[in-house]
Chain A
Amino acid sequence: MHMKMNKKIAAFLLVTALASFGAGVARAADPLDAATQARIDRFEKGPATIDVSKYPQGIQDNYEIFQQKCSQCHKLSRPINSDYALPDEWSRYVKRMMHKPGSGIDSTSGKKIYEFLVYDSNIRKKAMFDDKLAKLSAEDQAAAKAKIKEVHDAYDNK
């Protein structure tokens, strides 16, 4: 009986102490730029895997490289649910990541990751993709379509 009471008091004190400590830490922490943080949080809330069973084998292989390389530094749900969809957006994003010192992504695997992301967004994020494509100039639209065709030609029916 006494033991139990002591435990209760101890637990309460602990909770109180932790709560005050937590509040203090939260106040002292350096917040990431609020808009960026909100954006990342939104992406990371989504699923962390993609059903690639209907994709060609080559793209499925690339998905594995994507999973292995990209999860070194961030959650996979971040790119999977991000608002990037166009080939150029993915090209910049992948290059930005691969040029970080120590990323361990060489240009061969970088290209495979890019191809996977382009292939996947063109199907899984169709609505977002079409919406973004429609906002491009005629010239850029043609260029984006050519880049997607290039990926499809390389992987479909193989």
Chain B
Amino acid sequence: MRDELDRCQKTETDPPASRAPVPVWIFVLTLVLLFLGAVYFDTYGAWFNKQVYAPYESAEELALYQPKSGAAAILAHGQAVYENVCGLCHGSDGLGKTGQAPPLVGSEWVLKDVASLAHVPLAGLNGPIQVKGQDWNLAMAPMGAGLSDADLAAVLSYIRTSWGNQSSAVSADEIKAVRAALGGNGPSAAELAKMTPVERGHAVFQKYGCFQCHGQDGKGGVSNFNAKTAEQVPSLIYVADGYTKDELIAFISRGERNIPRKNPAGPEPPHFMPKWGPVISANELSDLADFLFSLKPKGENLGF
């Protein structure tokens, strides 16, 4: 007892308070768990949507399994065509792409009357325009010229009612009327029947607005800022040298989304080759290839 007292008294100072920092692994673990939690929530949480239940993971996924009928079926079809044709430039979210394609969300071009809207995919749009107060000066080929009235109506209905756009649906009859007013996209069936493949191919070249980017008769000269090809859209007069007919048709069908840049750090060039496969028919493609092959200047021979 005495000894113990001695020992206590011998302690001269209080032991120092332990101020060791919280071990770093706790922070690391917290962050890892937070991150994984966020990823898990993003993947499976469906953002608190009460209609989504296991095993489904999002409202979009759930919608895939809902039976479609009437207007919903048309919109679903419109969406499919949109993703395949329009979405390459205007984006799956309809927000467009800086320097390449204006947004469709809230665009007065989309929301105004059907006739002016339908005019764009049927006849193309070239030159300066304003969209939501912003200036654009680009070329859009008549990407809808090869779509049926029903397909085009479905696409336009889709963009007019998606991403917060609240406008009326478009009927196939309305498209038909606009197409007729435009002169039905070139020569009539009777006229086409009398033409040679090269002449028909020229009509295809005009119908789909190829000249907008490749120049009249494919002579080139249209500028494409920051494109590695001398900042130009290539001319087409030498395709006969570089492609078999099959190769050329395959190329036009799949297009070329990624245009190499002159300055790798610079912006994406505004023009690229659209994916024409879903738009131009097989017969038209064959005629188009014949026309393009006919463009090669006569008498030129490279000697190999």
Contact = CB atoms under 8 A, between A and B. Distances in A.
B254 A33 contact: yes
A154 B35 CA distance: 66
Interface in B249-288: 254, 257-258, 260
A106 to B, nearest CB: 10
Query: What class of interface size applies to chain A in its complex with B?
Result: 20 to 34
A29 B28 CA distance: 31
A95 B242 contact: yes
B242 A92 contact: yes
Interface in A9-42: 9, 12-13, 16, 20, 30-33, 36
Contacts of B242: 92-93, 95-96, 99
Interface string B235-257: 10010011110010000001001
A110 B254 contact: no
A104 B139 CA distance: 28
A99 B31 contact: no
A5 B24 contact: yes
Nearest to A30: B257
A110 B241 CA distance: 12
A101 B230 contact: yes
Contact of B31 (A2, A16, A94, A100): A16
* Size class of the contact patch on chain B: 20 to 34
A37 to B, nearest CB: 9
Contacts of A152: none
B229 A111 contact: no
A91 B260 contact: no
A111 B241 contact: no
Contact of B303 (A36, A96, A107): A107
Nearest to A151: B304
Nearest to B39: A20
A91 B242 CA distance: 8
A73 B244 CA distance: 23
B25 to A, nearest CB: 10
Contacts of B254: 33, 36
A5 B28 CA distance: 11
Interface of B: 21, 24, 27-28, 31, 35, 88, 220, 228-232, 234-235, 238, 241-244, 247, 254, 257-258, 260, 302-304
13 contacts: A5-B24, A9-B27, A12-B31, A30-B88, A36-B254, A73-B260, A92-B242, A96-B243, A99-B235, A100-B234, A101-B230, A101-B232, A114-B304
5 closest cross-chain pairs (CB), A and B = A102-B230, A96-B242, A101-B230, A95-B241, A99-B238
Interface of A: 2, 5, 8-9, 12-13, 16, 20, 30-33, 36, 73, 91-96, 99-103, 107, 110-111, 114-115
